[in-house]
A and B are shown apart, each in its own frame.
Chain A
Amino acid sequence: MTRRAPVGLWVAGVAVAALAVLPAVYLGVRAAEADAHAWALLLRDRTWGLLWRTLGLAVSVTGCAAVVALPLAWLTTRTDLPGRRVWTVLLCVPLAVPTFVGGYVLLATFGAGGVLEEPLSRWGLPVPPVYGFPGALLALTVSTYPYLFLALRSGLLSQDPAWLEGARSLGLGPTRAFWKVTAPLLRPAFVSGALLVGLYVLSDFGAVALLQYDAFSRAIYVQYEGAYDRTYAALLGLALVLVTAAVLFVETRLRGKAGYHRSAKGAARVSSPVSLGRWRVPALLLCGAVVLAGVVLPVGVLVYWGVRGLAGEGDAVLEPAVGSVLASVLGAVASVLCALPLAFLSVRYPGRLSLVLERASYAGYALPPIVLALSLVFLGVQALPFLYGTLAMLVLAYVVRFLPQAVGTVRSTLLQLNPHLSEAAASLGQSPSAVFRRVTAPLLRPGLLAGAALVFLTAMKELPATLLLAPIGFRTLATQVWSATAEGRFAEAALPALVLMAVSALGVGLLVSQENETPRG
């Protein structure tokens, strides 16, 4: 071996990776300690009910999202739909709506004490059933269809128009050509988008908890809050992890072996768009309806309640905002600092160990957030009592949860950094620390800032870990929306929710701009 990493770097890398896998390992240990009684508890009918409701919601949301996303993706890429670019942007806006805000919007519109309760009762109409399955289905479909929409769009855009033209010249009509050529070739894009949606639903806490749909994550939270024996909560968490793993396993089997690549090299040709003709108006109505549900309704309801909130029903924005910013800034800085050794090892000293360490950093991200939060609660109570209940514990949770985002950004920045630069600096007489200070750090700065910004914007809207781990009396915008909504104080939740939407819109914008920088194959 010639190029050995400094020992300090390995120590730091191993420490961070250990931190990242700690919650997952702890959860396993905790579950392994469970006795026969606990297992009997887990395997009773209630758990099976949770499993079917969770999977049922995931499948239903994925199906509904597909029904919405496929026509929208096709309309915005292959047709002469007026305003395709504007529609594309508007259709992605729901990515900026955290699911608990989606739940809030439903409740604040249709629920008891919502905007429509009075007008509806005046006309003698019943309040629509927003709690439970219908509400969760609607809220999560609106929040998640953009993932499928974007995946299908990029799938459609990367298809060589010559394939479809070939099918047409072989005598297939446009509809048959779509189903025989375009649709089968979209399968990889569909599977990856559907997987994103499904995993999102499995791990969602905000919408199911607010709308009181009894899926795993809500049951875990209720169990944690209500019962003094938290073993059942841990077992439920483990069960949810197993379900997630099973879905991932099935997906790798489904994905198939065929890779679909354009055969000829060179710039993609753009096929001439399909003329919609008399279908133009229905197509516009469809786009309009989705934008109405995903953008106009949330913003309208939030503004409505926000104005009423300003009028005096509540003014609690400033203090939670300060809390959110404080916790998120600390989380962002700590995540980037922890990401540095892992990214350095994986880029500059590639090998089995550095790969293992980098992969380990994803452990906290793979756990459903409520499970991660629960595991950290156990860990804090039993092993780190001096940290438990402090802001440091919350920051730790953010680091474990958002480390992969930071590692990804720092890694890609490092990859663009020519290793000859630090060698040149060394051969010009600079010590390793001077090389870092004068060359590496200035060149890394933009990437580190982008990584920190990304973590900051994501941490701002984090709910479950903040609920479980924040110090007593410490409020953030997300917990403010949560508690005010749960108690029906819609006006108090509106302004924090609006601020969060604006912040996460910034985050989505940052993500999209980073994706545009990396060329797609």
Chain B
Amino acid sequence: MRGAFAMPLLSLDALSLRYAAGGTPAVDGLSLSVEAGEVVALLGPSGCGKTTTLRLLAGFERPDAGTITLDGRVLVGPGTFVPPEQRSVGMVFQDYALFPHLSVLDNVTFGLSHLPRRDAEAKARSMLTLFGLGEFGARMPHALSGGQQQRVALARALAPGPRVLLLDEPFSSLDSALRTSTLGEVRRVLKSLGATVLLVTHDQSEAMAFADRLAVMRVGKVDQVGSPEAVYSTPRTAFVAYFLGGTNLLPGVGFGGGARTMLGNLPVAGQARGKVLLSLRPEALRLVPDTDAVAVGGALRAEVLTREFQGPTAEFTVACGGLELVVRGVPELPLRPGDRARLEVVGRAGVLEDSPD
């Protein structure tokens, strides 16, 4: 729960970084806060600055401006720069970066050099067991599969008990079948440890499944923060709406709880006044085969342009009222390109902050 007066565990405030003087900023006045025990995903297209943000947090890069505070301690700020080894920030790299000259056990004990050897090994073994790798301590990293290497990297980063764990595209090098199962398993372990996690990904479905909150990034800034459900159902901008799984944009004129559009009067989430741009998700529309060719009052006539089979669903593009719209339906719908159909609006439209022009 976000208490109104409680300090967040981690806060990034107005961070900026340019790699080349005079070049475009990689991170541009970025602010974000993470509560203790929370899993937050930084989501954005490649080049939006999300990995740079992670590297700023870990201390591998030095920002031009801004502050980072962790658990009440300023890590980076005017005149302050805490080096990476003193931050208590764990990091799992995209390529895992396991030490090739050390066994799995030695990799995990690496960050426990302050403990006596016996205690360090016991701690490391318990971490490995937690990730289902109890038998693999003596192996060398190259003798592990990609999924096993990833879990060793997680165990290694978590072993010293960091205040926050950073994950850089942690699931991107796993194949898709392995990814779904790993994702749930890793989330379960992290939650059981009560770890505070910030992860970076470009995959929206991964972010929505893994994180408690999303922060969608665009060109060095956070565009929108919120629970996956809230960000998905009420995107603030067309960019966010598109990035989280595609949408239909249509202009309209708001009258409170609804808006007048080319598809007729639509209910909106929240309030709309004046000229607005609306986002209508493909699943907020429904296609009905127009078998009897009789127009039902108020229904819209549409022509199917394309059909794309996606397994559990099928995606159609249709022409309707001078617009091209994307509609999600069941693959069983007997519609093929060229067929006519009725189009019904079954969900609410989101009101975007972007201008309709």
Please list the residues of chain A having a beta carbon within 8 angstroms of any beta carbon in chain B: 1-3, 418, 420-421, 423-432, 434-435, 438-439, 442-443
**Which of A2, A424, A428, A431 is in CB contact (< 8 Å) with B61?**
A2
Q: Is the CB of A429 within 8 A of B60?
A: no
- Among residues 56 to 72 in chain B, which have CB atoms less than 8 Å away from a CB atom of chain A? 58-62
Can you list 19 A-B pairs with a CB-CB distance of less than 8 A? A1-B21, A2-B62, A423-B97, A424-B93, A424-B99, A425-B99, A425-B110, A426-B59, A427-B84, A427-B85, A427-B89, A427-B157, A428-B110, A429-B85, A430-B85, A430-B111, A434-B85, A435-B85, A443-B101
Question: Across the interface, which residues of A come within 8 angstroms of B356, CB to CB?
Answer: none
Q: Is the interface of A mostly helix, strand, loop or mixed?
A: helix
Smallest Cβ-Cβ distance to A418: which chain B residue:
B97
CA distance A426 to B83 in the complex (A): 8
Q: Is the CB of A427 within 8 A of B113?
A: no
**Which of A431, A432, A438, A443 is in CB contact (< 8 Å) with B110?**
A438
Q: Given A423-B60, A431-B85 in contact, is the A2-B101 Cβ separation under 8 Å?
A: no
Q: Is the CB of B91 within 8 A of A430?
A: no
Q: Is the CB of B62 within 8 A of A423?
A: no
Question: Across the interface, which residues of A come within 8 angstroms of B49, CB to CB?
Answer: none
Q: Given A420-B95, A442-B101 in contact, is the A427-B58 Cβ separation under 8 Å?
A: yes
CA distance A503 to B53 in the complex (A): 53
Question: Across the interface, which residues of A come within 8 angstroms of B254, CB to CB?
Answer: none
Whether B17 is near chain A, meaning CB under 8 Å from some CB there, is: yes
Question: Across the interface, which residues of B come within 8 angstroms of A424, CB to CB?
Answer: 91, 93, 97, 99, 156
Question: Across the interface, which residues of A come within 8 angstroms of B83, CB to CB?
Answer: 426, 432
The minimal Cβ–Cβ distance linking B175 to chain A, given in whole angstroms, is: 22
Question: Across the interface, which residues of B come within 8 angstroms of A3, CB to CB?
Answer: 61
Q: Given A426-B84, A428-B110 in contact, is the A421-B156 Cβ separation under 8 Å?
A: no
Q: Given A427-B58, A430-B111, A442-B101 in contact, is the A2-B85 Cβ separation under 8 Å?
A: no
Question: Across the interface, which residues of A come within 8 angstroms of B19, CB to CB?
Answer: 2
Question: Across the interface, which residues of B come within 8 angstroms of A1, CB to CB?
Answer: 21
Question: Across the interface, which residues of B come within 8 angstroms of A432, CB to CB?
Answer: 83, 85
Q: Is the CB of B21 within 8 A of A420?
A: no
Q: Is the CB of A428 within 8 A of B160?
A: yes
Smallest Cβ-Cβ distance to A428: which chain B residue:
B111
CA distance A428 to B111 in the complex (A): 5
Extra contacts, 12 of them, besides A420-B93, A428-B85 (Cβ < 8 A), are A2-B19, A423-B60, A424-B91, A424-B97, A424-B156, A426-B59, A427-B58, A427-B84, A428-B157, A429-B114, A432-B83, A439-B99
CA distance A427 to B93 in the complex (A): 11
Question: Across the interface, which residues of B come within 8 angstroms of A428, CB to CB?
Answer: 85, 90, 110-111, 156-157, 160
Whether B100 is near chain A, meaning CB under 8 Å from some CB there, is: yes
**Which of B59, B84, B95 is in CB contact (< 8 Å) with A418?**
B95
Smallest Cβ-Cβ distance to B97: which chain A residue:
A420
Question: Across the interface, which residues of A come within 8 angstroms of B110, CB to CB?
Answer: 425, 428, 430, 438
Question: Across the interface, which residues of A come within 8 angstroms of B17, CB to CB?
Answer: 2
Smallest Cβ-Cβ distance to A417: which chain B residue:
B100
The minimal Cβ–Cβ distance linking B124 to chain A, given in whole angstroms, is: 12
CA distance A151 to B95 in the complex (A): 38
Smallest Cβ-Cβ distance to A445: which chain B residue:
B101
Whether B87 is near chain A, meaning CB under 8 Å from some CB there, is: yes
CA distance A421 to B101 in the complex (A): 11
Which of A418, A421, A424, A438 is most buried by chain B, counting CB atoms within 10 A of its CB?
A: A424
CA distance A439 to B86 in the complex (A): 18
CA distance A438 to B99 in the complex (A): 10
CA distance A191 to B156 in the complex (A): 53
**Which of B21, B61, B111 is in CB contact (< 8 Å) with A429?**
B111
CA distance A442 to B102 in the complex (A): 10
Q: Is the CB of B91 within 8 A of A427?
A: yes
Question: Across the interface, which residues of B come within 8 angstroms of A425, CB to CB?
Answer: 99, 110
The minimal Cβ–Cβ distance linking B342 to chain A, given in whole angstroms, is: 52
Could you give, for residues 35-60 of chain B, a 1 whenever the CB lies within 8 Å of some chain A CB and a 0 otherwise?
A: 00000000000000000000000111
CA distance A435 to B162 in the complex (A): 18
